[in-house]
Amino acid sequence: MKSLNALYGTLLWYFLCLASLALVIGTLSVLLRVVLEKRGGKARLLSLATQLLTFLLFMILMDAGHAAVNFSGRYLPLERALFALPWLIYALAELSLGGLLLYTEIDRRRYRKNHLTSDVIRQTVNLLPEGIAISDADGTVRLSNLKMEALCRELTGELLADAKRFTTRLAQMRMDRNGQLLVPAKDGRVWLFEDEPLLLDESEYRQLTARDVTERVRIIEELREKNERLRDIQRRMRAVTELSGDMFVAEEQVKARAALHNQLGQVLLMGKHYLSHPESTDPKLVHLATRQMNRFLLGEIEQPGDRQTDALDEAVAAAGSIGVRVEIKGSTPREAHIREIIAQAVSECAANTVKHAEGDTVTVTCHPERSGSESKDPIIHLSITNNGKPPKAEIAESGGLLSLRKKVEGSGGRMSIESKPAFVLALHIPRLPDA
- The string of pLDDT tens digits covering residues 261-286 is 556 666 666 666 666 666 666 666 55
Question: Does 274 lie in the same domain as 259?
Answer: yes
Residue-level pLDDT at 290: 67
Residue 341 to residues 325, 326, 380, 403, Cα–Cα distance (Å): 18, 15, 11, 11
Q: Name the domain boundary from 287, 306, 325.
A: 306
- Write down the pTM of the prediction: 0.39
Residue-level pLDDT at 277: 64
Asked if 297 contacts 234 with a C-beta cutoff of 8 angstroms, the reply is no
Question: Does 332 lie in the same domain as 289?
Answer: no
Residue-level pLDDT at 249: 46
> Binning pLDDT at 50, 70 and 90, where does residue 247 land?
very low
Taking residues 353-360, report their average pLDDT.
Answer: 88
Question: Does 286 lie in the same domain as 358?
Answer: no
Residue-level pLDDT at 360: 92
Asked if 347 contacts 382 with a C-beta cutoff of 8 angstroms, the reply is no
Residue-level pLDDT at 295: 59
Question: Does 342 lie in the same domain as 279?
Answer: no
Residue-level pLDDT at 383: 95
Residue-level pLDDT at 69: 57
Residue-level pLDDT at 199: 86
Q: How many domains does the chain have?
A: 4
More confident residue, 168 or 267: 168
Residue-level pLDDT at 417: 94
Element (H, E) at 292: helix 283-297
- Cα distance between residue 308 and residue 314, in whole Å: 10
Q: Count Cα neighbours of 266 within 13 Å in the Cβ-side half-sphere.
A: 32
Taking residues 100-105, report their average pLDDT.
Answer: 85
Q: Name the domain boundary from 284, 306, 328.
A: 306
Residue-level pLDDT at 364: 95
Question: Does 102 lie in the same domain as 149?
Answer: no
> Binning pLDDT at 50, 70 and 90, where does residue 323 land?
confident
Does position 396 have pLDDT exceeding 70, yes or no?
A: yes
Asked if 422 contacts 361 with a C-beta cutoff of 8 angstroms, the reply is no
Percentage of residues in the chain having pLDDT higher than 90: 19
Mean pLDDT rounded to a whole number for the chain: 80
Asked if 193 contacts 210 with a C-beta cutoff of 8 angstroms, the reply is yes
Q: Name the domain boundary from 212, 232, 267.
A: 212
Question: Does 371 lie in the same domain as 334?
Answer: yes
Element (H, E) at 80: helix 77-83
